[in-house]
């Protein structure tokens, strides 16, 4: 093996999928791109990393709610566009041709073009680590969407796209919660 730069080691673990997080500050909708996410349990508990460097963070802290929207590979350019401009100066829904859809449990909108959307409430913000812990309230999935491959950021400007699905449900059954 060859030693690598420890400052790029995060590229080995960068989780994915890349998600879009929508917020509403009481006046307008916004979207931010996030690749630092984590499933916390078999319950609908999630975490993401963000902070004051993202315009949406203020709305996330203030309203304590958001929507996690999961885009597919055909939305890669929109995902990058959303992540490389600021909601302070850009209406990202309009600029990137994305359609806001009213959610049922939160004021932040779903994104129609995404494969799935999860309405969430913030349960904790760990300021020192910039970790936002979320509880999923309601989930939506577009079964009619032809493209279902999600994106995974490497962290260096490149992405991996989901490929073949391998089914080992029978082997894993003893570890899976009921209903999964």
Sequential pLDDT tens for the chain (180 residues): 989 888 877 777 766 799 999 999 999 999 999 999 999 988 899 999 999 999 999 999 999 999 999 999 999 999 999 999 999 999 999 999 999 999 999 999 999 999 999 999 999 999 999 999 999 999 999 999 999 999 999 888 999 998 877 899 899 988 888 877
pLDDT at 75: 98
Q: For residue range 131-150, list pLDDT tens digits in order.
A: 999 999 999 999 999 999 99
Closest CA relative to residue 73, chosen from 161, 157, 14? 161
Looking at every residue in the chain, the average pLDDT score rounds to 93
Total Cβ atoms within 10 A of residue 167: 7
Token duo for residue 50: 């963000």
H or E, element range at 172: helix 169-172
- CATH number belonging to the domain at 16-175, selected among 2.60.120.10, 2.30.110.10, 3.40.50.80, 3.30.70.60: 2.30.110.10
pLDDT at 12: 74
Q: For residue range 9-23, list pLDDT tens digits in order.
A: 777 776 679 999 999
Beta-carbon-side half-sphere exposure of residue 149 (alpha carbons within 13 Å):
10
| Domain residue spans of the chain | 16-175
């Amino acid at each position: 093996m060859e030693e690598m730069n420890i400052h790029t080691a995060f590229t080995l673990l960068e989780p994915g999928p890349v998600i879009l997080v929508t917020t509403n500050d009481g006046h307008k909708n916004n979207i931010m791109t996030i690749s630092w996410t984590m499933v916390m349990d078999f319950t609908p508990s999630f975490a993401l990393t963000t902070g004051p460097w993202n315009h949406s963070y203020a709305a996330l802290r203030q309203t304590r709610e958001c929507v996690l929207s999961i885009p597919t590979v055909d939305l890669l350019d929109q995902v990058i566009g959303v992540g490389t401009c600021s909601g302070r100066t850009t209406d990202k829904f309009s600029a990137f041709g994305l359609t806001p859809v009213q959610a049922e449990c939160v004021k932040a909108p779903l994104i129609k073009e995404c494969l799935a959307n999860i309405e969430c409430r913030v349960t904790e913000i760990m300021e020192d680590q910039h970790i936002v812990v979320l509880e999923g309230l309601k989930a939506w999935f577009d079964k009619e969407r032809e493209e279902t491959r999600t994106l995974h950021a490497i962290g260096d400007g490149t992405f991996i796209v989901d490929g073949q699905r391998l089914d080992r449900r029978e082997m894993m059954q003893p570890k899976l919660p009921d209903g999964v």
